[in-house]
Amino acid sequence: MLEINNLHVAVGGKEILKGLSLSIAAGEAHAIMGPNGSGKSTLSYVLAGRDGYEITSGSIRYRGEDLAAMAPEERAAKGMFLAMQYPVEIPGVTTMNFLKTALNAQRRARGDKEIDALGVLRLVREKAKALHISEDMLKRALNVGFSGGEKKRLEILQMALFEPTLAILDETDSGLDIDALRIVADGVNALRSPERAMLVITHYQRLLNYIVPDRVHVLYAGRIIKEGGKDLAHELEAKGYAEIIREAA
């Protein structure tokens, strides 16, 4: 599904990722853990295609295609989804309108028939319920005045709505209390399937108690320094990053 090979990425001329390799197959969930400044967010942005994140060498293949050649909106239409650490506010655009516009833009790009307003409303309502997202929230401007938890739940709602093939969750646990964390994790787990892959990027092990990964990778200074099964997350929690980094050095 996703093949990252010796990836180097620079932001503003400064190299952040320095030879990262990673391979995720359909049906798998991988976790990337790393301390602040290790390059976690850079990885998520380069995967989603944000401007200013320059691939200086190496390659990313997504479903067999060269990802770098795809525009961000094309990646979305081809099933890639990034749940962002800091969802963006768009004043004046209702959440519902945003969801409808995005869903239909993706469908249009894939050559599928667009869904009318009523159809989208029905679909969104059904998915919103499980995430405890109120009707009122859908009527408000996108992310404007939303609490941290509301913003994160809305990211997961979008994920449920778009049914991506590869979902990247960037620090989805940050700013969530334990109840919100459980709701979000349930939403993510409901989407796990043999056709779908997930990449969970997180600082803490906490989220991985709920979304249990098949593989865990430790990212430090732009490189994967250690890999293992789900137990690696617990080891990391127990020892701390400093210890693991020293061991790997």
Partner 1 sequence: MAAVETKEKVAALGEKYKYGFVTDIEMERAPKGLSEDTVRFISAKKNEPDWMLEWRLGAYRRWREMHEPKWGRIHYDPIDYENAYYYAAPKSMAEKKSLDEVDPKLIETYNKLGIPLSEQKLLAGVAVDAVFDSVSVATTFKAKLNEAGVIFCPISEAIRDYPELVKQYLGSVVPVTDNFFATLNSAVFSDGSFVYVPKGVRCPMELSTYFRINAQGTGQFERTLIIADEGAYVSYLEGCTAPKRDENQLHAAVVELVALEGAEIKYSTVQNWYPGDEEGKGGIYNFVTKRGDCRGHRSKISWTQVETGSAITWKYPSCLLRGDDSVGEFYSIAIANHFQQADTGTKMHHLGKNTRSRIISKGISAGHAQNTYRGLVSVHPRAANARNYTQCDSLLIGGKCGAHTVPYIESRNKSARIEHEATTSKIAEDQLFYCLSRGIPQDEAVSLIVNGFCREVLQQLPMEFAVEAQKLVGISLEGSVG
Given the rule CB under 8 A, which residues bind partner 1?
Answer: 48-51, 71-73, 75-77, 82, 84, 86-93, 97-98, 101-102, 105-106, 109, 141, 158, 162
Beta carbon nearer to partner 1, 13 or 52: 52
Residue 89 or 179 with smaller CB distance to partner 1: 89
- Listed in sequence order, the residues at least 6 apart from 227 whose beta carbon sits closer than 8 Å to its beta carbon are 215, 216, 217, 218
How near is the Cβ of 102 to partner 1 at its closest, in Å? 4
Residue 229's Cβ-count burial label (10 Å; 0-12, 13-18, 19+) is exposed
Residue 52 contacts by C-beta under 8 Å, 6 or more apart in sequence? 11, 12
Backbone angles phi, psi at 57, to 5 degrees: -160, 170
Nearer to partner 1 (CB atom), residue 92 or residue 194: 92
CB of 81 or CB of 241, closer to partner 1: 81
Q: How far is the CB of 225 from partner 1 (least distance, A)?
A: 28
CA distance 209 to 182: 10
- Nearer of residues 50 and 203 to partner 1, judged by Cβ: 50
Min dist CB 213 to partner 1, Å, is 23
Q: How many CB atoms lie within 10 A of CB 164?
A: 23
**Cβ partners under 8 Å of residue 222, min gap 6:** 9, 15, 16, 17, 18, 19, 20, 38, 39, 42
Which of residues 50 and 192 has its CB atom nearest to partner 1 in the complex?
Answer: 50
Closest by CA to 167, choosing from 192, 194, 143, 145, is 192
CB 72, min distance to partner 1, A: 4
Q: How far is the CB of 196 from partner 1 (least distance, A)?
A: 17
Q: Is residue 81 within 8 Å of residue 37, measured between CB atoms? A: no
Q: Which helix (H) or strand (E) holds 7?
A: strand 2-11
C-beta of 155: minimal distance to partner 1 in Å? 10
